[in-house]
Amino acid sequence: MGKRKFSRLMPLLVVLLLLVAAVGVAEIRSYTGVGTCTIGDIGTPEQAKNLAKEKALQNAREQAGVYIQSYTRTAKTKLASGELVAITNNITNVVGEVKYQQTPGMVNDQPVITYTATVTAKVDTDGIKKWLARGDEEKSSLVQQVETSQKGIKESIEKLDKITQQYNESVTAQEKDRLKKEYDEANQGLIAAQKIDAGVKLDEAGNYDGAIKLYNEALSSGELSSTDTAIAYTNRGLAYGQKGKLDLAIADYDQALAVNPNYARAYYHRGTCYNHKGNHDRAIVDLDKAIELNPNEADYYNNRGIAYGDKGDADRAIAEFTQAVTVDPNYAAGFYNRGRAYDLLKGDKARAITEYNKAIDINPQYADAYNNRGSIYMDDYSEYDKAIADFNKCIDLRPNGPNGYFNRGNAYFYKGDYDRALKDYRKARKLEKNPARLADIDKNIEIAEHNKRVIEMNSGMSDLERSLSELSDALADLGSLF
């Protein structure tokens, strides 16, 4: 009755992976970021304000990042490469309006205006906990998206500052006109990069339509480099995948690869999408290419292992998961999925528990690992108290997910505690969105209610038999008196 699944590196269907922060009082930290942009007769006030605002936001995020890193160290959680930038980007939110100040001045005997932007951004611990509770695969996908979008923004900022410096040092009108044109183009590039970055944040928040709209605007701007164009198509493909529009997602990955045939990430996501459609062989071809282009990504081996597992090739799947944890020894998803392969493909329950233990040691927030380990304790070892402890942890980490409640209900069912079983089943039913799973829950509720009624009837019969026996004894005692 336990429900276990592969941990897929699939931004295609992250609905089941969107976690809710652990219950507790959130601590909120605020940070003030400041950024400046100086213009003379190059650039417009609106362009200067936008650049100053972006610099201020970058400054606030850097400050927030120091706190987030300290928090995660205190929580004894290891952050993967690039993860600090991703978590800071996704949970740092601007509060109130951006404040601007104008200061006149002179540069090379030419009048200029310096625009200073001040932003206040907040970070709360609930946001950090929510991030840490995500699966490795979901975090990895967001890390890649944020890294690429932030790289585009920083490159645009550096380019604009460099052009401004060159303009201030130029002496001929022809040179100044050329630099003005380059400045306008670079500014449009910054705006397009900002749209991609904002799209990533909307995508992460589940607003896929809003993300797609921003990616459309970035792509239609005509100001993206070939690299950023491939990124925008790939990110839009991810958003379509989240909506279940897999063919549109694949079409966008095709577009990304037409622009940049060596973009490993597009091959990787297209392969994952094909695997989700059940075309495992085509998925493996794309994942092979992704690994050829970038052999140092644990995610790529992980998903190729999933594809082989879906084909029923247990040994090859295990080999791929082993390669994933070799590339990154702290890659918890690799241990989890290797445990999953030993569990359901090889039937080696003891080895599966060992692998789930490793995943939990690396990431104590790994809800699926607790769920699967608990399922083995329940289904294979009949150690129901251990199972319930694991399902409790799964529920703590994912209180809005139905699986923990359903499986804990099964454990209570096996213990004969039908009241608690029914309570968990009914909670799972409220949270479950899958019609097939709802049918399973309803069946278990029906059986539990039946068993509860049988016990109550038997208990009632026992009470009646006991009363009749007592009455018989009393009558016998009464008869002896006569």
Decide: 349 and 343 in contact? Cβ < 8 Å. yes
> Phi, psi at residue 6, to the nearest 5°?
-70, 145
DSSP letter assigned to residue 23: S
Residues in the chain, how many?
Answer: 482
How do residues 371-380 score in pLDDT, each as one tens digit? Answer: 999 999 999 9
Q: Give 21's pLDDT tier (boundaries 50, 70, 90).
A: very low
Q: Give 458's pLDDT tier (boundaries 50, 70, 90).
A: confident
Collapsing DSSP to helix, strand or coil, 224 comes out as coil
How do residues 85-130 score in pLDDT, each as one tens digit? Answer: 888 887 888 888 999 999 999 888 888 999 999 999 998 888 888 8
* pLDDT tops 70 at residue 478: no
pLDDT reported for residue 20: 31
> Considering the chain, what is the average pLDDT of its residues?
88
* CA–CA dist 32, 26 (Å, integer): 20
pLDDT above 70: percentage of residues in the chain = 90
How do residues 348-375 score in pLDDT, each as one tens digit? Answer: 999 999 999 999 999 898 999 999 999 9
pLDDT above 90: percentage of residues in the chain = 67
How do residues 253-292 score in pLDDT, each as one tens digit? Answer: 999 999 999 999 999 999 999 999 999 999 999 999 999 9
* pLDDT tops 80 at residue 420: yes
pTM for the whole thing?
0.80
* pLDDT tops 70 at residue 26: no
pLDDT reported for residue 131: 83
* Residue-range domains of the chain with CATH: 28-132 (3.10.129.140), 136-329 (1.25.40.10)
pLDDT reported for residue 22: 35
> Phi, psi at residue 44, to the nearest 5°?
-115, 165
DSSP letter assigned to residue 38: E
* CA–CA dist 306, 169 (Å, integer): 57
Question: Tokens 């200061």 appear where?
Answer: 103
Decide: 113 and 103 in contact? Cβ < 8 Å. yes
How do residues 305-349 score in pLDDT, each as one tens digit? Answer: 999 999 999 999 999 999 999 999 999 999 999 999 999 999 999
In terms of Cα–Cα distance, which of 212, 266, 285, 213 is closest to 243? 212
Non-local (6+) Cβ contacts of 479 within 8 A are: none
Strands, E assignment, 80-174: 93-107, 110-124
pLDDT reported for residue 291: 98
How do residues 178-222 score in pLDDT, each as one tens digit? Answer: 999 999 999 999 999 999 999 998 988 889 999 999 999 999 988
Residues forming a β-bridge with 94: 121
pLDDT reported for residue 33: 96
Q: Give 134's pLDDT tier (boundaries 50, 70, 90).
A: confident
Read out DSSP for 148-177?
HHHHHHHHHHHHHHHHHHHHHH--SHHHHH
